[in-house]
Structure 1
Amino acid sequence: CATSEFYNSDLGACVPCSTCIQFPKTPSCHTCPPVKSSDSWRVAAITSFSVLAAVVVFGALLIGVLVHQCKSKRTLSEPIEETTGPLY
Structure 2
Amino acid sequence: MADESEQEYQAWQEDIQYLVDVLKESFESTDASYYQDDLNNILYVELEGLDDYSDEEITEIAKPILEELDLDFEDIFLLPKNV
Structure with more contact order per residue of length (Cα contacts < 8 Å, sep ≥ 6): 2
Write 1 or 2 for the structure with the bigger share of strand: 2
Q: Which protein shows a greater Rg?
A: 1
Q: TM-score, normalised by structure 1?
A: 0.30
